[in-house]
Structure 1
């Protein structure tokens, strides 16, 4: 059977009663990392806030490696997104300090840097071009020879012929981060409704709340749809504001580094092997995260033998010593991808409805700035300047005031309701690690 991330779904449950008058200031649909940070920041700003999710604390972040790689993951044509990524990366140290104080929990933030390596002439040429591109944008990265790379990381394959060292691309443990956000929300007074959101409630041309699977109706001045890859499937949302978000499956493998092999890697290592990217992220607790596949297969979260094989094969090309390490977990999650792979943040054309979704591969990196941006949008109704390029209205369809028809899952896949966890674990896994 499949296992889901924490926030155990044991049926409808509510913590925190409705506010005076029965109407929340802010109602967040989705209890993944983006929904949690939105709710936390909203509550900190004095808004009476509620969050709807049958199992808060799950979602794609439970599977993610947690690379804060604004520079290393830069793609051509994504300069606008780079600005948002860099702004969020700069906020991370203060964000971590504040969250750890608010929750009393360590989030596993490591300022360790990243090393991207090349194996052949084509890879080396590509990295050289990327280095030039990064320098042209004023980003800090350092070219290194293969020997210099192996001096930094002795476990690297002798086949490494060069690499880029990015000292400012760090990491955080998304599982710890999510747990800390959950605690911070509870301490800030966020009301949790552990149930599924079934339908957006409308009064004329305004969103007024949500109906839950058990029939309960929650009223709110503003509703935030932050349900990750399921954000486009909430019934009742008018078609012209329905977020164009798709699920992109990612499989990940977790190994354990015994003390006798430590330190195995001192920083995140990335490479392109057989045309596909692979990364190895070492944790302070001895965990080594290897990822990730990128598969457009609907809402399928099956962990496959082929996916695991490819990850281990490619990681072995980079660091041959991984074959000696115990395999402790395999899992799969769904990244929420938008048409331009950038997030949808802030008010929609429907008054009372805001979006915080579509973060694709940058959800963990963009957590600090998303919380700040959404809190400001909930208070003022406006996006801060740094987030204005990511308004949902850039994808606005021709006006249509009717509700969207019930979506049909793609053949061979079934989509749960918004708020359902977006992660599955290997059948052999007995406990989360």
Structure 2
């Protein structure tokens, strides 16, 4: 089949690779360039932490995250370029004055474990247990929560590796070429110059055709801090500035926290930058000598219930959107749901993960 994909962010690239590998002729149109600088997928820490995210997400997201961890290993193994992937768990720490907030967080995770016994149970660490897993934290923290089995990957490496894969697979890539579903007339019967399917993965860019999509601003710092010795993603519990620190290769760290109900795409504010960097410094003073590689802000595509959904537009056009802050966590599940919907009216995975799939509606 001839398939058009709108949007070359994370979901668009993953779908294009999966479809091209199975022999379909794939074309990708994107409003930006090949480096995905305007994509929410680039401004992310790419943590794969279903239990940690259960504190702010419902069980359907957790289930998709659990499904995605082994699926990520499978998808990454097919790429010709290496992508940093780690599954050493998540560490959660807090300062003494924030003990009540940490207790509340732990109760939320324990409630998730009760509802979803397939989640690996969290472990409560004392000073000695923390020192064994993260010696660099033991001098400033005397207790922690450890969430085994959680992971992360390097999103910049992944986007580059997917781009290389698309080029090797012969996918037609159209950069700086914004398109919308109404520009095409997909049909089950062959039509000259028209695709068999259109998949709209434009995120916030699809808002004109999906009014419920909104942008939620997030800000991320990338630091080069070779003196910091964190070996796994670490979350700092704080009532006002919850923080995550994701160590990548070669002394690089992704640091984020902010989540603002706004579609503002202006640069990172001084206040947000100070909050991010100051909170990171309290976790490890080694960040005081770090070098700021980049400070980026981007808007994550979000639906009213903060859950992903699929819209059918016409007979052979699917809009997939609303991945919110969970893009890397749930994208493998959303890829497989989309592929199932292209094969029939129903998706077993969509039902399993309670992902909304609308009935066919008029073309936009």
TM over 0.5: yes
Secondary structure of residue in 2 paired with 1:244: coil
Which residue does the alignment assign to 1:126?
104
Which residue does the alignment assign to 1:52?
29
Which of 243, 259, 265 is the matching residue for 1:294? 259
What is the alpha-carbon root mean square deviation over aligned residues? 2.5
- Equivalent residues of 2:333, 2:349 under 8 A apart: no
Shift of 1:279: 0.6
- State the aligned residue count: 349
Q: What is the distance in 2 between the residues matched to 1:79 and 1:131?
A: 11
Which residue does the alignment assign to 2:45?
65
Q: Tell me which moved more, 145-154 or 242-251.
A: 145-154
Unaligned runs of 5+ in 2: 187-191
Which residue does the alignment assign to 1:160?
141
- Equivalent residues of 1:248, 1:297 under 8 A apart: yes
Which residue does the alignment assign to 1:226?
201
Which of 19, 22, 25 is the matching residue for 1:42? 19
Q: 1:218 to 1:143 in 2, by over 3 A?
A: farther
Q: Does residue 354 of the first structure (1) align with residue 318 of the second (2)? A: yes
List structure 1 segments (4+ residues) > 6 angstroms apart after TM superposition. none
Which residue does the alignment assign to 2:336?
372
Secondary structure of residue in 2 paired with 1:196: coil
Q: Does residue 170 of the first structure (1) align with residue 171 of the second (2)? A: no
Shift of 1:275: 2.7
Q: Does residue 313 of the first structure (1) align with residue 278 of the second (2)? A: yes
Query: After the TM superposition, which residues 11-410 of structure 1 pair with which residues of structure 2 at under 5 Å, given as runs?
Result: 25-53=2-30, 54-58=32-36, 59-75=39-55, 78-99=58-79, 104-119=80-95, 120-136=98-114, 137-138=116-117, 139-140=119-120, 141-156=122-137, 160=141, 162-201=143-182, 208=185, 219-233=194-208, 237=209, 242=210, 244-258=212-226, 261=227, 264-345=229-310, 348=312, 350-378=314-342, 380-388=343-351, 389-393=354-358
Which residue does the alignment assign to 1:406?
none
Q: What is the distance in 1 between the residues matched to 2:329 and 2:26?
A: 24
Q: What is the distance in 2 between the residues matched to 1:161 and 1:297?
A: 37
- Equivalent residues of 2:127, 2:138 under 8 A apart: no
Unaligned runs of 5+ in 1: 1-23, 210-216, 404-433
Q: 1:199 to 1:170 in 2, by over 3 A?
A: closer
Q: Tell me which moved more, 183-192 or 69-78.
A: 69-78
Secondary structure of residue in 2 paired with 1:294: strand
